[in-house]
């Protein structure tokens, strides 16, 4: 399958605010050993994209410098040794960078088949959130049926994914959000209770909801002032799962309850992990989660779709926190 020698992409230049994202062109990548090249249909917008654009989250060594971590599209070239895919396959994929472009190269194990019945747009909304939630809530957090979990940022793409998956696997889910519209959105997808953090104290609410026991797990991307309060809201043997810091990562915390309640504090970032790690996560998603997507028990929530050339507007919306669910970019379309 022929492909052009150059492609359109979105550059972030030297970094800065959303306005630095502008259309440009560059050489079309070639797949390396073990990689596939995908003609991109849609790309997802995520918080790490905003951090990279602003200069605070440089790509790992060897990764594409182009912003963007998830896509859907068609496999148009195969690197040496690729056995999982063939030309013409439709996939969604977690990239190591390079999603805001017409073509993206990525390790073959980080691609997944489009779930049956899904559009390319819906499929592109899956990889980053589902890889992140699966590895943190289920692999590291070991959430089980019958347990309770508090999800901060419940109306974000990550939050809505965590609510749905935790609910689907039999946990009781509480979450925090910032307004009544977001409360309704979280209840609709399976949250037992949505707490408005602007008018309610989430620690008091969680303790009341659990008969003063606290929750078994907390998924947090806030940090800062939430750190001490999270420890208070956890039950004995509870797990605090840190995936980001919207507030400062440096904060004074009294860790005594870590010992007295035998808590586990763990965190992870997805992007620096090896291709082998990501392939393992992809395989578990295919086995454990893809059937839930096909059955309709779990589905991505898409807030708004922008053209690739309007990535700056997409980032401005992301940073406003006014969205409920995923923000997406159209590249080639369906």
Q: Is the pLDDT of residue 1 over 90?
A: no
Whether 264 has a pLDDT exceeding 90, the answer reads yes
> What does the pLDDT look like over 72-89, one tens digit per residue?
999 999 999 999 999 999
pLDDT of residue 2 exceeding 80, the answer is no
Tell me the C-alpha distance between 121 and 176, whole Å. 27
Top-confidence residue, 250 or 2: 250
- CA 310 distance to own-chain centroid: 21
First to last CA, the chain: 19
Domains of the chain: 6-126+272-330 (3.90.180.10), 130-267 (3.40.50.720)
Q: Answer whether residue 260 shows pLDDT above 90.
A: yes
Predicted local confidence at residue 334, as pLDDT: 84
**Residue 314 confidence (pLDDT):** 98
Q: How far is CA 91 from CA 30, 204, 307, in A?
A: 18, 44, 20
- Over residues 22-63, the pLDDT tens digits come to 999 999 999 999 999 999 999 999 999 999 999 998 998 889
For residues 233 and 253, give the distance between their C-alpha atoms in angstroms, rounded to a whole number.
14
Query: CA dihedral defined by 53, 330, 185, 150, rounded to 10 degrees?
Result: -40
Contacts 24+ apart (CB under 8 A), 13-16: 14/55, 15/53, 15/54, 15/55, 16/53, 16/54, 16/55
pLDDT tens profile 155-189: 999 999 999 999 999 999 999 999 999 999 999 99
CB-CB contact of 275 with 110 (8 Å): yes
* pLDDT tens string 91-122: 999 999 999 999 999 999 999 999 999 999 99
């Amino acid at each position: 399958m022929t492909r052009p020698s150059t492609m359109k992409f979105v550059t972030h230049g030297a970094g800065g605010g959303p306005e630095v994202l502008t259309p440009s062109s560059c050489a079309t990548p070639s797949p390396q050993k073990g990689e596939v090249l995908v003609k991109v249909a849609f790309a997802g917008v995520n918080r790490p994209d905003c951090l990279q654009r602003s200069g605070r989250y440089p790509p790992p060594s060897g990764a594409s410098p182009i912003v963007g971590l998830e896509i859907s599209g068609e496999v148009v070239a195969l690197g040496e040794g690729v056995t999982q895919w063939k030309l013409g396959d439709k996939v969604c994929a977690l990239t190591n960078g390079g999603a805001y472009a017409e073509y993206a190269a990525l390790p073959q194990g980080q691609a997944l088949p489009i779930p049956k019945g899904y559009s390319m747009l819906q499929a592109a909304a899956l990889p980053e959130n589902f890889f992140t939630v699966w590895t943190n809530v289920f692999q590291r957090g070991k959430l089980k049926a019958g347990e309770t979990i508090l999800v901060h940022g419940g109306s974000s793409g990550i939050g809505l994914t965590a609510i749905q998956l935790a609910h689907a696997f039999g946990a009781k889910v509480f979450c925090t959000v910032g307004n009544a519209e977001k409360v309704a959105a979280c209840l609709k997808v399976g949250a037992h209770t949505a707490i408005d953090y602007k008018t309610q104290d989430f620690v008091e609410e969680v303790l009341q909801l659990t008969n003063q026991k606290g929750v078994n797990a907390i998924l947090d991307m806030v940090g800062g002032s939430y750190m001490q309060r999270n420890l208070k809201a956890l039950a004995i043997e509870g797990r605090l799962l840190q995936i980001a810091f919207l507030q400062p990562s440096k904060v004074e915390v009294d860790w005594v309850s870590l010992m007295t309640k035998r808590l586990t504090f763990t965190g992870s970032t997805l992007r620096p992990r090896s291709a082998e790690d990501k392939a393992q996560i992809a395989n578990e998603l295919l086995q454990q989660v893809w059937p839930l997507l096909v059955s309709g028990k779990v589905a991505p929530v898409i807030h708004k779709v922008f053209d690739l050339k309007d990535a700056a507007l997409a980032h401005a919306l992301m940073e406003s926190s006014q969205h409920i669910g995923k923000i997406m970019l159209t590249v080639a379309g369906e």
